[in-house]
Every structure is written in C-alpha cells, then in structure tokens.
Amino acid sequence: MSDFRTPGRGHGVLDIFTRRYLLKVLVKKDVTTRYRNSIFGWLWSYAKPAAQFLVYYLVMGRIIGLDRGIDNFPVYLFSGIVVVNLFNESFSNATTSIVSNKALVKKIYLPRELFPVATVIVAFVHFLPQVAILIAVALLTGWIPSMLGLVLAVLGMLLIVLFSTGLGLFFGALNVAFRDAQNFVEIIRTFATWTAPVLYSWTMLADKAPAWLLNIYMSNPLTVAVEFFHQGFWFSTSTGAQANPPTDALLPPPLLPIYAVVAFAIAIGTIIIGQLVFRRFERNFAQDL
C-alpha cells in the first residue's frame, strides 16, 4: 500500500484530533485578540448577556407579561438566553472563519476545518462566564444541584456545539464562494431566540399548535438544549419551595428523551452534510479568497 496521498486533502473534521497543536494555537490566537486594545476586556463577556437579559426581562416579562405562570422567571429566561448566545456566537463565527483567516488559507496548507472548529471552541470559552453567572443566580434563588441536572446541562452544551459546528462548516464553505450566506446566517440568528422556549414556556405552543408542528419544534436541537438547561438550573428552583404540585408550565416535555435522541441525530447529520459541502468547496478556497 502506498504511503502517498493527494496533496492538500486530509480526513476532514477528524484531522482536529491529529492536529491538536494547530487547533490550540488558533484558539489561543482568537481568545487573546478578541478584546485586544479593549479597556474593559473580558468584562464584555458579562456585560453583553446582562444587558440582553435586562431588556428581555423588562420588555417581554414585565411589560408584555410573558412571565405569568412561570415561577422564578429570571432564572428561566437567563438559562435559555445563555444557550442561544452560545449557538449564535458559534454559528456566526464559524461562518466567517475561513474568510477571516484568508491570509493563512492562501499561503499554507492546514486542515481548513480547524478554523470553524476553533471559533466554536472560542465561543464556548466566552460562554463559560455566562454559565458562572447563571449558577450564581440560581444558587441565590434556591437552586439545589443534582447529578441528573448537571448531566443534562452538559448534554445541552454538547448538543449546541455539535449543531453549530455542522452549520458552521456548511455556511462557512458557502460563505467563501457566496457572501450572501452570511446574510442567511443573520436571519437564522434572528429567529433562534424565538424558535426555542426562551421567552415563553413550551406549553404555550402546545396549547395552540397541531401535534405535528409541536413535534418538529421539540425536535429542534436548540429547543432540546434550552429544555436541558431549564431542567439543570431552573426546574429545582421553581418547584423546590412549592407546597402544591407544579403547573403544566413547570413540567418538562413528556417525550423529552425521544426529542433529545432526534435532536442529537439532527446535529450529527448536520455535521456530516456540513463536512461534505465543506470538502466540495474547499478545493477552491484559495482562488475564491
């Protein structure tokens, strides 16, 4: 068997396991340059989600009244916001990762999948301060950590990372040849907050939508990840001090384990499709950039 292979062709996403040093360098570069020449630096990782939470809480919760029927609405809201923020930042950064690193892509060869994967890892790093705030607030409101809840929260993070990586590979490759792809990504990000039970409970949709639409909605990886975070950080705080049984708005979806399996299958399928499209366009990256 020959040891030679076609130059410039690797094993796709699998190369991140054999090029861990390059991945580490890219992640370190993105982390250190994100807030370079910024006065407040890492404080922006706390300030942005805090401002977003304040706007949603005051407008959607207090003024419009979507907090009715949802105990401890601030924790419910923030646990959903941090998940959507992770998805939006990972997805957006992965989409622009190839174009943003065009100097490296045009000069040397390295597995191009490293760029979108590195940006997803960087988004996850900046997601951790938000989780720290969520944990602190949940503890102050009576949260009692449980092993099941923590496992679900980790699974929610993993689901978002897989899903955003697959979409990032797909749109990141398209964005090199067709810059319109970035506009589609912005539209998807706009809808992301509203296509998951962040500002409202899942039962609000269940009361109005037909069964087939509810099944599609609940199979959305973003919806499942948000519900996992609700179960991890909010459910115990909303029911722990209740003398009466919780209302339907406080109960997890009855088929959540099935929806979770479907959501993970969708996320993995997205990575496979994204990898195929990425490989198809990869050969022309240098020319198109």
- Rounded distance, CA 181 to CA 173, Å? 9
**pLDDT per residue as tens digits for the range 228-248:** 999 999 876 554 444 333 444
Question: pLDDT at position 261, please?
Answer: 96
| pLDDT < 50 regions, the chain | 1-2, 4, 239-248
- Tell me if residue 141 falls in helix, strand or coil: coil
Please tell me the distance from the alpha carbon of residue 171 to that of residue 177, in angstroms, as a whole number. Answer: 10
Q: What is the pLDDT of residue 245?
A: 39
Q: What is the predicted pLDDT for the residue at 37?
A: 60
Which value, in Å, is the radius of gyration of the alpha carbons in the chain?
A: 20
Q: Among 258, 268, 282, which Cα is nearest to 174's? A: 282
pLDDT of residue 248: 46
Q: What is the pLDDT of residue 159?
A: 96
Using CA atoms, how far apart are residues 135 and 212, in angstroms rounded to an integer? 35
Neighbours of 178 (CB within 10 A): 14
Q: Are 231 and 143 in contact (CB under 8 A)?
A: no
Q: What's the pLDDT tens digit per position in 95-148?
A: 988 888 887 777 777 788 888 999 999 999 889 888 988 888 888 888 888 899
